[in-house]
Amino acid sequence: MWSSRDTSDLATNVRGRLVAVRGALAVLVLVVACKAKRDSEHQARPVEPVVEPVKDAGVHDAVVDAATWAPLAALPVIHAVRTVMLPSRPDQPRFDVVGPVVLGDIAVVGSSQLGFAAVDWRRGVLIWTKAAGTRLAPPVVHGEDFVLIGDCVGAPEVPERDQLLGCLRVVNAGGADEAYLAIHGKAAAIEEFSHATGEQRVWLDGEHVRWRRGDQAVAIDLMTGLAVPASIEPPPLSVTYQGRHWDIEESEGRLVARAKGKLAWQTERGYGESCSAPCGCPGSCRWCAWHRSVDGSAIRRSGCSTSMPPDR
**Residue range 151-162, pLDDT digits in tens:** 998 888 899 899
Range of the domain at 185: 79-229
pLDDT for 52 equals 52
Q: Which amino acid is at 32?
A: V
| Structure confidence by residue, pLDDT tens digits, 162-171 | 999 999 999 9
Neighbours of 133 (CB within 10 A): 15
Query: Does residue 5 form part of some domain?
Result: no
Question: CA-to-CA distance for 130 and 117, rounded, in angstroms?
Answer: 6
Same domain, 152 and 259: no
pLDDT for 154 equals 84
Same domain, 284 and 162: no
Report the chain's mean pLDDT, rounded to a whole number: 74
Residue at a domain's end among 206, 229, 252: 229
Phi and psi, residue 6, nearest 5°? -65, -40
Give residue 88's pLDDT band: very low, low, confident or very high (50, 70, 90): confident
- As a whole number, mean pLDDT of residues 58-86 equals 68
**Residue 298 or 104, more confident:** 104
- As a whole number, mean pLDDT of residues 120-127 equals 90
**Residue 42 or 88, more confident:** 88
Same domain, 116 and 218: yes
Question: CA-to-CA distance for 270 and 66, rounded, in angstroms?
Answer: 23
- Residue 187 pLDDT more than 90? yes
pLDDT for 235 equals 84
| Structure confidence by residue, pLDDT tens digits, 1-21 | 444 444 455 445 545 554 454
Query: Does residue 41 form part of some domain?
Result: no
Same domain, 98 and 218: yes
Same domain, 211 and 96: yes
Query: Does residue 90 form part of some domain?
Result: yes
pLDDT for 270 equals 66
pLDDT for 133 equals 84
- Residue 183 pLDDT more than 80? yes
Same domain, 181 and 243: no
Same domain, 123 and 104: yes
Query: Does residue 169 form part of some domain?
Result: yes
pLDDT for 251 equals 78
- As a whole number, mean pLDDT of residues 173-196 equals 95
Query: Does residue 59 form part of some domain?
Result: no
pLDDT for 205 equals 87
pLDDT for 67 equals 60
**Residue 175 or 16, more confident:** 175
Same domain, 177 and 293: no
Of 143, 156, 135, 112, nearest to 222 (Cα)?
143
Query: Does residue 291 form part of some domain?
Result: yes
- Residue 146 pLDDT more than 90? yes
Question: CA-to-CA distance for 150 and 308, rounded, in angstroms?
Answer: 31
- As a whole number, mean pLDDT of residues 225-249 equals 88
Same domain, 222 and 297: no
Question: CA-to-CA distance for 35 and 29, rounded, in angstroms?
Answer: 10
Question: CA-to-CA distance for 304 and 163, rounded, in angstroms?
Answer: 36
Give residue 39's pLDDT band: very low, low, confident or very high (50, 70, 90): low
Residue at a domain's end among 213, 229, 245: 229
Of 152, 162, 285, 142, nearest to 209 (Cα)?
142
Same domain, 133 and 206: yes
Phi and psi, residue 206, nearest 5°? 65, -125
Query: Does residue 309 form part of some domain?
Result: no
pLDDT for 92 equals 80
Same domain, 114 and 245: no
Give residue 28's pLDDT band: very low, low, confident or very high (50, 70, 90): very low
Same domain, 200 and 249: no
pLDDT for 137 equals 95
- Residue 128 pLDDT more than 60? yes
Query: Does residue 100 form part of some domain?
Result: yes
Domain count, the chain: 2
Of 10-14, 71-75, 205-209, minimum mean pLDDT range? 10-14
pTM over 0.75: no
Residue at a domain's end among 209, 229, 249: 229
- As a whole number, mean pLDDT of residues 98-125 equals 91
| Structure confidence by residue, pLDDT tens digits, 188-203 | 999 999 999 999 999 9
